[in-house]
Homo-oligomer: A and B are copies of this chain.
């Protein structure tokens, strides 16, 4: 059982002088008393320290998004972010800090412009979709053919849209769990192909997002035979409304779209790796993931600077414990999550590269999870099925319960893009589900900036990640299913 005198003993290095004095006093107390502290007590102490703001998440995030800003995959900024992160992780006392590079084809946004020509000259707020090809320099001009859904566009006869620009107007639904994303993101992925098959000269969609600002949401789109077949654009929600209203007034909107986007063959991206080496079985890993690249329009504060800040801050709290956990806690800051490379299909390059490079270690990866849904609060925990048979689950939920975190009754369906290849190789995964109500207002738009991050839920995230990672790393649970 915990002793009250030990309560403050694992308070991490704080940032303010009064707290420093407090810590020094408590460390002295700990040295004198040296109480035996249970793993659950340590988890509670990690939780409370994080909740009290004694964690580096916000300062990490502020520095990353300010000094580096946008970090598109394969860019100089992404590389600078990786170098900055590696240097910071070393300075924070992480071990085995290194960068693993891998080749990608980078996509670079050029100048881009959208304009209504009929019923009058009106600027349109557009963003080229990631990896979509440029238009001719004079742009592409055409009447707009409006489809309510991707399925309607896919049903258009071949050649029926010749000389026209296809537009899918489907709206994303706001939900806590982000379930509205899937039904509409399909149009972003498969829309250009469907539009090309119908003979259209370009593709547009209503931004995959839940806000109503003149800020389009970009994102990657799908390849057909190794290329994105058409120039493709997201329209902001109010601009999409405008096209629909023009049609409702009985007019056919006519638009001009330009983009000078380009590709950089032979670019590279990189993963940043850092360990808190375990004290008992350091060859076993609890892998925490998030991605360092971002879209280019904003500064990648929510997507996914926040995730990197949360897992680094959580691991740093564990790093600063007087006693390290038995297993190694590994942090991986993935590169090139946002760009879906055509090979292998469906895999982001960073996650795939990690699974490739560390294939021999994967059987000793005991658990993995990633943080990539912004900075709002966590409301539930999904553990691998095997964890339900262990006291581990009950302990974890006791510790996370005061954070407002419930148990999911199903194991994770999709552990995330970055750790996906690792999970597919058999590594058990958990998910800490975050409230996504606000996330898709911001996601992939120019509005993804630091001011959207609130400190209280950010600290709650760090608290949950630190406590859970500690409990898993200090345990001997086999999350694959056989107790030992």
The CA of A298 and the CA of B238, in the complex, are separated in Å by 10
Identify which of B62, B80, B297 contacts A245 (C-beta below 8 A). B62
Q: When the two chains form their complex, are residues A122 and B299 in contact, meaning their CB atoms are under 8 A apart? A: yes
| A470 shortest CB reach to chain B, Å | 32
Interface residues of A in 46-101 (CB under 8 A from B): 62-63, 66-70, 76-77, 80
In the complex, A450 has a CB within 8 A of chain B: yes
Residues 365-399 (chain A) with a chain B CB within 8 angstroms: none
Residue A446 at the chain B interface, CB threshold 8 Å? yes
CB A205 to nearest CB in B, in angstroms, measures 18
Complex contacts, A76 vs chain B, CB 8 Å: 121
* Residue numbers in B under 8 Å from A359 (CB-CB): none
A119-B67 in contact given A213-B215, A214-B298, A245-B62 (Cβ < 8 Å): yes
Other-chain contact of A451, B215, B237, B296, B299 (Cβ < 8 Å): B237
Number of interface residues of A (CB under 8 A): 41
Query: Is A447 an interface residue, CB under 8 A from the partner?
Result: yes
Q: Which of B67, B120, B297 contacts A67 (CB 8 A)?
A: B120
- Report A260-289 residues with CB < 8 Å from chain B CB: none
Q: Are A80 and B120 in contact (CB under 8 A)?
A: yes
Is the beta-carbon distance between A214 and B120 smaller than 8 angstroms?
Answer: no
**A69 / chain B contacts, CB cutoff of 8 Å:** 116, 120-122, 242
Closest CB-CB distance, A23 to chain B, in whole Å? 26
- A132 within 8 Å of B (CB atoms): no
Complex: A452 Cα to B212 Cα, angstroms: 8
- Identify which of B66, B120, B449 contacts A68 (C-beta below 8 A): B120
How far, in angstroms, from A183 to B130 measured CA to CA in the complex?
42
Contact of A70 with B245 in the complex, beta carbons under 8 Å: no
Given contacts A212-B451, A451-B212, contact A121 B238 (CB under 8 A): no
Alpha-carbon distance A78/B420, docked complex (angstroms): 54
B238 in contact with A450 (CB, 8 Å): yes
Is A123 in contact with chain B by the CB < 8 A criterion?
Answer: yes
Q: For the complex, give the distance between the alpha carbons of A8 and B80 in Å.
A: 71
In whole angstroms, what is the CA distance A135 to B122 when docked? 24
- B68 near A446 with CB under 8 A, answer no
Hey, which chain B residues are within 8 Å of A241, CB to CB?
Answer: 449-451
A242's partner among B116, B246, B449 (CB-CB below 8 A) is B449
Given A241-B450, A451-B241, does the pair A63, B213 have CB atoms closer than 8 Å? no
- Complex-state Cα separation, A298 to B297, whole angstroms: 20
A245 touches B215 (CB 8 A): no
Residues facing B in A297-329 (CB within 8 A) are 297-299
Q: Which residues of chain A in 435-459 are interfacial with respect to chain B, using CB atoms and an 8 Å cutoff?
A: 445-447, 449-452
Identify 9 residue pairs between A and B in the complex whose beta-carbon atoms are under 8 Å apart, listed by A's number. Answer: A62-B245, A66-B245, A67-B119, A68-B119, A123-B297, A213-B215, A214-B215, A214-B449, A242-B449
Given A70-B122, A212-B452, A245-B450, 18 more A-B residue pairs with CB atoms under 8 Å apart are A62-B245, A66-B119, A67-B246, A67-B249, A69-B122, A69-B242, A70-B123, A77-B122, A80-B120, A123-B296, A212-B451, A213-B213, A213-B215, A214-B447, A214-B449, A238-B449, A238-B451, A241-B449
The 10 tightest CB contacts between A and B, nearest first, are A69-B122, A214-B446, A238-B449, A66-B245, A212-B451, A67-B119, A238-B451, A214-B447, A69-B120, A68-B120
